[in-house]
Amino acid sequence: MPASLRQALRDLAADTDGIDTAIYATYERDPLEPIIGLGDADAPLCFFGRDPGREEVRHGEPFIGSGGQIVRRVLYRHLHGAEMPDFEAGRALGRHYFWINTVPYKPIGNKAWSMAVKRCFQPLMRQLLIDSWHGRHIVTLGREAFLWFAIGQPREARQRLEAFWQREDRFTANLDIDLQDAQGHARTFTLHSLPHPSPLNQTWFKRFPALLEARLRQLDASR
């Protein structure tokens, strides 16, 4: 991550209410340091989630908690044809993908960040996605992550995203979306939406591994 972008995130976090500073203090972590797992800039796939949790703060890495472990186990099995042997194997796997959240800080109570906070961070996270990763395919985890791509978009693009999320085939179909940063750099990304892998998401939790595996097979065939 460019030093200027990292500092811009820290400056914005310093003015943001709602960061769970108590958890950061518990693990002796800096509450202004963004939790972003950039991985390889040439990684073929990006995972886009909502925000970090307790375990992400503990380890200073995204997608390392319970939901992230589900994602990593499916990835490991897909790549190696065997179960992920331990935590460190899953952690090492992360370097081969690009990981990002709507806001790179843990909120108090694990509640989703407000739209106002997401709007504040969106230009910086958008710049990070456009400038620091060379891939195209993004797996979004949950409604909050998917509709993040509507922030700052023209009305037609927002309507396309909202309509797509209402489709019954939203977890098997995909959608192209254009993003442009403040400097005018534009990229087209392909979104592959999935439900959030949380045990609280009772409707989709048990089905999530199979849905992700189907997405991975679909992406293998398209590349």
Domain ranges of the chain: 3-221
- Report the alpha-carbon distance of residue 30 to residue 181 in Å, rounded: 28
Residues in the chain: 223
CA angle centred on 77, ends 141 and 210, rounded to 5°: 45
In terms of Cα–Cα distance, which of 82, 89, 94 is closest to 43?
94
Topology given in CATH for the domain delimited by 3-221: Uracil-DNA Glycosylase, subunit E (3.40.470)
Give 44-94 pLDDT, tens digit per residue.
899 999 999 999 999 999 999 989 999 999 999 999 999 999 999 999 988
Of 183, 172, 175, give the one whose Cα is nearest residue 158: 175
- Average pLDDT per run of 10 along the chain, which is 223 residues long? 89 96 96 89 91 94 91 94 93 90 93 92 92 93 95 93 96 94 86 90 88 93 59
Question: Taking CA 209 as the corner, what is the angle to CA 64 and CA 176, rounded to the nearest 5 degrees?
Answer: 85
